[in-house]
Structure 1
């Protein structure tokens, strides 16, 4: 992507492009380094955080339908990261738990996520990183609020 052509793009659009590019990089990294999709990582980390859970509870926490989670868990199980176990109290219910390999993968991802490794030379500067963080938190907090119209500058 030519950064020169982006120099005059409005900040909101740059934020969207940066999010898109960062998401693509993250997904490629997850696939190449950890053998996971974004959905697989979310399911793995959910089980790691909450421990053994029913399939339906994992789906709810991952904001997907149980049927959608089935394919994700199939892949995690195939890769030896998750096990399905029948609930002894209710044989219709399937509980999901991490294997030893799944716990190790989740621990490696947790360490990576919390490493605070800078993404660029700009956020390597703590003062600039604080401004970026403040901006992003404000954008996130604004959520669905409509942006106020900008006033035309007066001379």
Structure 2
């Protein structure tokens, strides 16, 4: 799997979320940005486990992604973050990203991987990024695919 392409495809999938009226559209990047335009989703650290199947047939990536929301109003910001972290609904990152799995029998992320799963949310807290503070959380995504590419 080509890690940069996988990261970019996850960010494209995340752009499908629909936030409540009056909120800016979620911005998304497949890399850790120097500065964010909130609300912002980005892919961060990547752990690679090689050779999950013989003959380099499968590698596994665990990608830690972050979503950061501005803190103009503490309660409202956390409500937006909660909607993004929910397991379903129009603002759900899990729903948007897992839609990129494709139909049964299709490859995930437009052919870049065999499958993916948003595994968990962790580290719901205040984040310092650049020179600003945001409320945010991490999503851990598992991606499996051909290790020979």
User: What TM-score results when the alignment is normalised by the length of structure 2?
Assistant: 0.29
Q: Which has the higher helix share?
A: 1
Which has the higher relative contact order, 1 or 2, with Cα contacts under 8 A spaced 6 or more apart? 2
Q: Which has the higher strand share?
A: 2
User: What TM-score results when the alignment is normalised by the length of structure 1?
Assistant: 0.28
